[in-house]
Structure 1
Amino acid sequence: MITKLNSIKVGDISVEGSLTMDGNKQLFKDALFFDLEHYIYKKPICIGVFGCCFYDEITNEIKVTQYMAENKKDAIEILSLAKNYFEEMKTKYNKKYIVTFSGNNDFTVINYLLKAYKIDFVLEGYFGEIDLQKCFEKAEGTCIGLKALEKIFEIDRESEVISGSNLAKTFSKIVKDNDYINRMPPEKKEKILLYNQQDVVSLFYIYVDWYNRVGLKMEEDETQSDCDEAQQ
């Protein structure tokens, strides 16, 4: 198992520009920003990389946690680590929301695997859920991908874009061949982790810059209904 913890310094944040949900202009302080890299073949097979971050107001940093599977056993262990992480975030850090981009796919995968391996935890509904893809579609009337949305928000990626099919092929090899990870160049592992980290960090920056970039500034009551109002 590869475990990576990272802290990223944040610049000035405009609370007025941040997406408002449940009447809360500073909801980003109570939220997690979440993304999975996974492998599906007819049904969910494994989580290859678990990635999640939150904003630490005291240090003015984004705290990123990642777990990457190195074999089939790790792919199962990630589920227990994910459960522990989410429970700690809720009980110790009082996080109430989870922000995703097209999060239904990730929720479906992780909930299916948690049930398949008899781990007593269901992510969907554990936090209030905010899907930025749905919020953008309601605001602008068009569907968009994360990389295209990053361009609107002028977010420059440190990582190269990796296709979902290439990631799936890599994780397929990892779960089928316990020695594959040892033959994988170190830079490829770092590339995958950086790609996932960029995804979750981008969600944070999009969230806090929302009203400065999205053409239609929705009123608070419209935001709550149109973005599938976040419920605890």
Structure 2
Amino acid sequence: MIIRQNNIEVGDINSEEDYKINNRKEILENSLFFDLEHYIYKKPICVGVFGCCYFNKEKHKICVTQYMIENEKDSIEILYFIKDYFYEMIRKYKKKYIITFSGNNDFTVIKYLFNKYNISCKVLESFVNIDLQKKYEKQEKVSIGLKALEKKFNILRKSEVLSGQNLAKTFGRIVKDSDYINRMPNDKKERILLYNEQDVVSLFYIYLNWDKVLNSQLIGAN
């Protein structure tokens, strides 16, 4: 399995008005920003990439953790990594919220696979989910994708935009062919990881600047 950790510098956000509104500061500092790349064929087959990050206020950094499968065995092993990661975030770092974009899809995949492989895990029930897609669509009365929302927030991607269909095909090949990952160019692996990293980092900046960009308070769930 590929395990990738990265710390991304964040400027001084203490002067950001949005950071101080009501309990925004408390939520931001106690949140995870989460996204999956997965393979579904009629039913969920595997998690291809797990990506999650949180804001370290002391170091002013976004701490990103990613797991990417390299074979069929990893498609089960990654579920234990995910479980352990979330438990560590609760017990060690006291995280309470998960901020997502259309997160119900990712939660459905994880829960289905936990159940399929008889992995006991109720950790997701410990978090309050804040779904930015639902928040936006409820407020603006129009559907939107993450890349379109990034444009509204002037977020410039450092990674290229990848097709969800092509990603699914890649993970399908990985679980069917144990040697496929060895034939995959390293730059392709890096592109997939950077794409997923950008997704979770974008969620941080969208949440941080929501009120300033959309002129509407965004606090918690519902």
- Residue type of the partner of 1:116? K
Alignment correspondent of 1:17: 18
1:168-219 alpha-carbon deviations (Å, 9 max, x no partner): 000000000000000000000000000000000000010101111114x14x
Displacement after TM superposition at 1:11 (Å): 1.1
Alignment correspondent of 1:69: 69
Alignment correspondent of 1:135: 135
Matched, 1:79 2:88: no
Q: Distance in 2 between matches of 1:144 and 1:126?
A: 28
Q: Which runs of 4+ in 1 moved over 3 A?
A: none
Q: Distance in 1 between matches of 2:96 and 2:79?
A: 20
Say if 1:6 and 1:102 are closer, same or farther in 2 by CA, change over 3 A.
Answer: same
Alignment correspondent of 2:30: 30
TM-score, L = length of structure 2: 0.95
Q: CA RMSD in A?
A: 1.5
Q: Distance in 2 between matches of 1:169 and 1:111?
A: 22
Q: Is the 8 A contact 2:49 2:196 kept in 1?
A: yes
Q: Any idea what SS the aligned residue of 2:126 has?
A: coil
Displacement after TM superposition at 1:18 (Å): 4.2
Displacement after TM superposition at 1:123 (Å): 4.6
TM-score, L = length of structure 1: 0.91
1:35-63 alpha-carbon deviations (Å, 9 max, x no partner): 00000000000000000000001100000
Q: Distance in 2 between matches of 1:141 and 1:16?
A: 26
Alignment correspondent of 1:8: 8
Which structure 2 segments of 5+ residues have no match? none
Note the 1:174-213 alignment, pairs <5 A: 174-213=174-213
Displacement after TM superposition at 1:126 (Å): 2.2
Q: Any idea what SS the aligned residue of 1:44 has?
A: strand
Displacement after TM superposition at 1:138 (Å): 1.7
Displacement after TM superposition at 1:24 (Å): 1.2
Displacement after TM superposition at 1:19 (Å): 9.2
Q: Distance in 2 between matches of 1:54 and 1:16?
A: 20
Alignment correspondent of 1:39: 39
Percent identity over paired residues: 60
